[in-house]
Amino acid sequence: MEQIYLARQPIYDRDLKLVGYELLYRSSQENYAQVAEGEGDAATAQLLVNALLEMGLREIVGEHYAFVNLTEHFLKQGLPAPIATNQVVLEVLEDVCPDAELVDALKKLRSEGCTVALDDFIYDESKRAMVEQAHFVKVDLMAMSADDLARQVAQLQTFPGLRLLAEKVETQEEFERCKELGFSYFQGYFFCKPRVISADRTPSNPVALMRLLAKLQDPDLDFTELQTLVSRDVSLSFRILRYINSACFGYSKQVDSIQRAITMIGIKTIAAWVTILAMSRQMDDKPHELMLTALIRANLAERLADPFGLDTQHAFTVGLFSALDALTDRPMEDLLQALPLTDDINTALLHREGRLGELLSLVLAYERGDWDRVEQAPIDTSHLGDSYLESMRWAEGICSALIAQ
């Protein structure tokens, strides 16, 4: 099977509850084996469906919606394989012609129980028949001015039952503005951005977190210090022991003490788990996806460390800490001053420079589906899709075993 790049971007409701993912995939014909003239659209769409079926939709998105792009050719020719109509949202791309044939195709899909979304949509009267067959309309915030956006929303709100989804929401301010306009769903990486908090109102929890993380990053941290650090927190101790006794390790005898856990796993590994748990403590008002994103980044960076000639622990730290500012609502510059990290880690987190910076840039490009940037990576990316899926599985497992209440 040809190489497939497949990433996902979360979609939230107004309460920041996860409702689905858009699956981002490499779709240009040049990225695949040559196909017959005129069959590029069908080949691309067919490959996407095969990828979903072979990888397992539930493994990629769980019980949530999966939004997938479909070409005009694919829509009009019909679905070549079974699709979970109760879970998959079929996205009509913005460059399709809103002709009678397309509208008939959408009516047929809807009659078969499919859910339809119009992607990167800009409304005018010529598209009314399309909108009447859609369940979702996705509006790109970057494609229009604030006034035009408000007018678009007002026009689309006249269609009964139509759900409006704001795309490319990159800041908390944009999220709040779109809520005021009447959007019901939101897509983008606004949840990975810190809220602005003035210095005289800095909450105490992030300060305590910085002290804990600083201690955990200390290369001279010894067995006794780590044991004391973990043991003084009953909840932390419970979660560490629950994790080491999970199926991930498969120990025949139950591990019943932090001292024994540290002895069996090692200081570095325990310190890493404590770091993850400490960061997760900041998530009372944050979407769960933020911690999951940080874990996926950390594990994927760790998997790619060898090809970059980097230390795996440094790679893991860069990936994990790339979301620390959003978790704590503090500027990254201020956070790094409190952590005894190496200069190359600091440079990577602040400026995306150096080999670690290149690695982090690749991880973030893959996360966002920036395939052109991925192709420019200085390493072989032929197995990157598999690595990403493995990192997703690992992160989901960590969230279940360590972070779940």
pLDDT score recorded for residue 78 = 67
- Rank 146-150, 215-219, 281-285, 401-405 by mean pLDDT and report only the highest: 146-150
Indicate whether 163 and 203 sit together in one domain. Answer: no
CATH number of the domain at 396, please: 1.10.3210.10
pLDDT score recorded for residue 184 = 96
Domain boundary among 192, 218, 243: 192
Domain boundary among 138, 159, 192: 192
Is 105 inside a domain boundary?
A: yes
Of 72-81, 106-115, 383-392, which gets the smallest average pLDDT? 72-81
Of 217-226, 228-237, 257-266, 380-389, which gets the smallest average pLDDT? 228-237
Indicate whether 144 and 164 sit together in one domain. Answer: yes
Q: Are 74 and 41 in contact (CB under 8 A)?
A: yes
Domain boundary among 124, 157, 192: 192
Indicate whether 176 and 204 sit together in one domain. Answer: no
Is 1 inside a domain boundary?
A: no
Indicate whether 396 and 317 sit together in one domain. Answer: yes
Amino acid found at 282: Q
Average pLDDT rounded to a whole number, residues 106-111: 90
pLDDT tens-digit readout, 149-203: 999 999 999 999 999 999 999 988 899 999 999 999 999 988 888 775 544 444 4
Indicate whether 16 and 156 sit together in one domain. Answer: yes
Number of domains in the chain: 2
Structural domain span for residue 40: 6-192
